[in-house]
Structure 1
């Protein structure tokens, strides 16, 4: 069984679910879950908290947490002994150039933390500088949209030629520690 934690609209869930017999996506957002369920009839989508999973102990083979908090305690509870947790999060330089437009003092992202009770199996870092024409639309997809000063938001709105932005990801595979 596969569970996507914080699945949102199910974009990644659908891709993983094609490879398994039984797949679930869970998220707090009712509109996101409704969208996901409308796009994917193979997967069961659930409105709920990733910190209180509605699954039996030791029932899941694979969990994914893609740009969501990692509910380590619940993940350990529902994962089978040989199950895996795959996490994807921002690398150190993720959206660095966008932050340089938004803020006077840019803080790079912290290294992803090891979930409590898990040991690292594999880690891959992917980074690419991409020209983004519509920087405002990118900003709308990030938490920076709601945390940035008005002056920074105005600077993004005034970008007429787009911006080269680093997309930097850390993909980690974890196993429950013995």
Structure 2
């Protein structure tokens, strides 16, 4: 695990700082009170305090997702995040900041619900002096996220619970098609930090909704997202991003599996409907990016 993100981590049991230890060849993170958390040989650290209510994406889902992202279908999301990140004052160091004690620490970019770390890596490429941390509950996803970027680390945690991060430690927090924990997001963000939330727009995957009987995006979703963050944030910007994707049936199956509809349709019925689609099929990707600042 990269030593730079390590300094921002906190013990999920007591909240004390964590440091790396090595005993008889085994590596772990340990706090002053003796709570210890193993570093997996794939590079991520397990910071779950107890059992998670779910295990996240399976190995097969993670492989398919990485292939889909690698084909560039969701590059519009990465590009939108990178543009918003580099256009924010949170990613700029003022003269006053450079003289402060905090200037000795790199800026931290956290992706809550990071999956394989694909979007986090794109943002880190755009901010050369930042370090990143991928948080997810899926071990197969974190095995890839730990290798997604040389300046990124990865930690297993349930983002619905207390995040294993110090107060006001995070400069930029990403949340892409993932659950939102408003109080914790507010706690870990610096006062000058930024929260970037990506959600599907009303016409996202519109060509597939009727043919595959997918869940429809609530037209009031943007307002619900803002409400889910509580009273700790102000919406300071919102943008819409759209592109046309030309997908094979296997890619359609992966795309549907990446969203909530996968849990609401019987697999056999979904497979039959996908098989009846033309190949390739043109599909609209439409997302909204909300930019929030802590109050």
TM-score, structure 1 normalization: 0.88
Distance 1:23 1:136 in 2: 30
Instruction: Provide the alpha-carbon RMSD of the alignment.
Output: 2.0
Distance 2:215 2:111 in 1: 32
Which deviates further from its counterpart, 30-39 or 157-166? 157-166
Q: Secondary structure at the match of 1:50?
A: coil
Would you say the 8 A contact 1:27–1:46 is kept in 2? yes
Q: Secondary structure at the match of 2:204?
A: coil
What whole-Å deviation, never above 9, does each CA across 1:96-120 have from its counterpart, x for those lacking one?
21111122x9634332221212111
Query: How far 1:82 sits from its partner (Å)?
Result: 1.1
**1 or 2 for the larger relative contact order (CA 8 Å, sep ≥6)?**
1
- Residues 6 and 137 of structure 1: CA distance in aligned 2, closer, same or farther (over 3 Å): closer
| Structure 2, gaps ≥5 residues long | 1-107
Distance 2:270 2:148 in 1: 36
The 5 A counterparts of 1:7-26 are 7-18=114-125, 19=127, 20-26=129-135
Would you say the 8 A contact 2:145–2:153 is kept in 1? no
Would you say the 8 A contact 1:8–1:27 is kept in 2? yes
State the structure with more CA Rg. Answer: 2
- Residues 106 and 174 of structure 1: CA distance in aligned 2, closer, same or farther (over 3 Å): closer
What whole-Å deviation, never above 9, does each CA across 1:18-52 have from its counterpart, x for those lacking one?
31432211111111111111333321111112232
1:29 to 113, 138, 156: 138
- Partner residue in 2 for 1:174: 292
Distance 1:142 1:3 in 2: 21
| Structure 1, gaps ≥5 residues long | none
Please tell me whether residue 91 in structure 1 is matched to residue 208 in structure 2: no
- Partner residue in 2 for 1:72: 182
- Partner residue in 1 for 2:259: 142
2:172 to 62, 66, 89: 62
Distance 1:69 1:106 in 2: 17
Query: How far 1:152 sits from its partner (Å)?
Result: 4.8
Q: Secondary structure at the match of 2:209?
A: helix
- Partner residue in 2 for 1:120: 235
Q: Secondary structure at the match of 1:98?
A: helix
| Structure with greater proportional helix content | 2
Distance 2:254 2:285 in 1: 15
Which deviates further from its counterpart, 122-131 or 85-94? 122-131
Query: How far 1:174 sits from its partner (Å)?
Result: 0.2
Q: Secondary structure at the match of 2:155?
A: strand
Q: Secondary structure at the match of 1:22?
A: strand
